[in-house]
Structures are given as structure tokens and as C-alpha cells.
Amino acid sequence: MGSAYYQGFVLAVPDANKEAYTAMTHTGWEIFGQRGALGVVEAWGEDVPRGKRTDFFRATKAVDGEVPAFSWIAWPDRATCDQAEQAMQDDPAMQDMPEMPFDGRRMMWAGFEPIFDSATAS
């Protein structure tokens, strides 16, 4: 595989905050795009089954009226991702972010190196 790198996110958003969350995703893309991200995908839970042992609702401790959201950011490589994260932490403007339309304490995220990509498979 190439040097691509992905950050994945799972969170629960109050259904009533869908419009605010959508607006926030556009702002997020501007911030990440300026720092080298190749793309961002934000997905709103539509067909999210409840499992017997684990599921997106349990993972995010979602309560009634909250919808799981799933997103990812594509980066050209991990170094660009790490540099962007550091730049955002060092940017004083990032400290004055408006309140998020979800409980960020229940958001999960992680970085991933791809091991298969159908777009580049031969």
C-alpha cells in the first residue's frame, strides 16, 4: 500500500443537533483541508442495528434521541496528519472553538494505515 493514512471517528449526536453538526463538518473540512487532508467523509447513522454484545450505540454510550455518526479523514501520510494535529494544538484560534453539537467525551477516534484499497488493487 501507499503511504495514505486515515483517521476514523465514531460519536453520538443528538438528532435535534443534526443541522448544527452538519454545519460543523463543513468548518472541520476547511480546517483539515488547509492542513493537508485529502478529504473528509461524515456519515449520519441511518441503518445502525443494535447488537447483542456491542454496537455503535453502546460504544458511544448513546442515549435515546442520539444518532451514531461515523466519519473519516484521508491524509496523504501519517506525518502530514501528525503535523496537522500539532499545528491545531499550537493555534490559539483553535482554543476558542464554539461548543460542539455533541458530547465529545464519548467520541472515539484512531489512526489507521490501509492494508487494502479496492481503488488501487490489481
Return the CATH number at 9.
3.30.70.100
- The answer to whether the beta carbons of residues 29 and 35 sit under 8 Å apart is no
C-alpha cell at position 38: 485529502
Q: Indicate whether 18 belongs to any domain.
A: yes
pTM of the model: 0.88
Query: CB count, 10 Å around CB of 17?
Result: 17
Strands 108-112 and 66-75, bridge-based pairing = unpaired
Answer yes or no: is 51 within a domain.
yes
Report the mean per-residue pLDDT for the chain. Answer: 92
4 by Cβ neighbours in 10 Å (0-12 / 13-18 / 19+) ranks as middle
66-93 pLDDT, tens digit each: 999 999 999 999 999 999 999 988 888 7
On whether residue 41 sits in a domain, the answer given is yes
Task: Output the pLDDT for position 97.
Answer: 67
The answer to whether position 122 is within a domain reads: no
d(CA 88, CA 94): 6
- What is the reported pLDDT for 22? 95
Mean pLDDT value of segment 110-115:
94
The answer to whether position 10 is within a domain reads yes
pLDDT, tens digit (0-9, with 9 covering 90-100), for 14-41: 999 999 999 999 999 999 999 999 999 9
For the chain, the domain total comes to 1
Q: How far is CA 49 from CA 18, 58, 66, 77, 94, in A?
A: 19, 11, 14, 33, 35
In eight-state DSSP terms, residue 118 is T
